[in-house]
Homo-oligomer: A and B are copies of this chain.
Amino acid sequence: MRPKLTLKQIARELDVSISTVSKALRDSSEIGEETKKKIKAFAKLYNYRPNNIALSLKNRKTKTIGIIIPEIVHYFFTTVISGVEQVANEKGYNVIVCLSNNSFDKEVLNMELLANGSTDGFIMSMAKETLQKEDYHHLTEVTNQGMPLVLFDRVIDEVHCDKVIIDDVIGAKKAVQYLIDKGAKKIGLVSTVDYVSVGKLRTRGYLEILRENNVEIDENLILKIEDMDHSEAEIKDFINKNDLDAVFAVNEHFAIHAIKAVQEKGLKVPDDVSVIGFTDGELSKRFIPSLTTVSQHGERMGAEAARLLIDKLERKPEEEESYKTVIVETSLIERNSTKL
């Protein structure tokens, strides 16, 4: 076992000073060619690499960005991470991942931990509990300290920072308009409770587009899932009670439960009932029938978020502060859960 080589050791070995070694390796013109050659050769031979921690301490930069997400066992978040990782890597940044498990306390803990020197900035999607509590002190805390923060997906107006969102309203409108165009009259909505902003926005899109098409809104055709653990039963009940042509679900899971419920009712998808989901994951692609969905392009969102963050990190402090909100476009992907 051979411990890591340091400047000091090289210096001792070659009988020169530490600063000479440092300069030689950075190819400074101050150092004589001979000495440089010797030192570089030695460093190369023994595979010297500067210690990141020491550099971080010196430069007051860690070159790592922290991602905090509610859960990782979730296709969408996974694609976002992938996007972040890609551009972060290109620009020489590392990515450190923390999970809040949708818990407010863990989110706060994680942020504090990472804020104490571990990362230069944050990319995050807020925990459900945080959205309910409406307590954002940990976010303002870090931004006050001058650490850039980029919020994505689950976002709130109260926090001033860069944001990456999708056009939830427009995405929902696209989906419902598509159903209307295919001749659907009674279109059900399966959504979440309103403090989850995506649920709220997609619901708004649904309502708006119905109005624009002069379709009367029937509150009975709107289901808001309270408890994810009982979503299956709630959806089944909802499908059984109502006589729908089509269903717009705000995520994959709801969409699939809707399809199952329709089938168990003895009807066919898409012949009797069309179903559209939101978020384009593995499930949508491979389910039978494969799901027509509004794709969120998580990878693009991650990439955008990383770009925004790194821009902030590498900006000169003189430049004036301003916050951008990037909207990543959704697109409707037609598959087999809707009529042609």
Residues on A close to B: CB < 8 A? 1-4, 47, 49-54, 56-57, 62, 64, 71-75, 78-79, 81-82, 85, 94-99, 112-118, 141, 144-146, 253, 256, 260, 281-283, 286-288
Interface of A is mostly: mixed
Query: In whole angstroms, what is the CA distance A117 to B53 when docked?
Result: 6
Kindly identify which residue among B1, B54, B98, B141 contacts A94, using a CB–CB cutoff of 8 Å: B98
Determine if B95 and A1 form an interchain contact, defined as CB atoms under 8 angstroms apart. Answer: no
Query: In whole angstroms, what is the CA distance A146 to B4 when docked?
Result: 9
Determine if B96 and A96 form an interchain contact, defined as CB atoms under 8 angstroms apart. Answer: yes
Query: In whole angstroms, what is the CA distance A1 to B161 when docked?
Result: 14
Residues of B near A74 (CB, < 8 A) are 78
Residues of B near A82 (CB, < 8 A) are 71-73, 99
Determine if B97 and A96 form an interchain contact, defined as CB atoms under 8 angstroms apart. Answer: yes
Query: In whole angstroms, what is the CA distance A4 to B116 when docked?
Result: 8
Query: In whole angstroms, what is the CA distance A167 to B206 when docked?
Result: 49
Query: In whole angstroms, what is the CA distance A81 to B260 when docked?
Result: 31
Closest chain B CB from A257 CB (angstroms): 9
Residues of B near A73 (CB, < 8 A) are 75, 78-79, 82
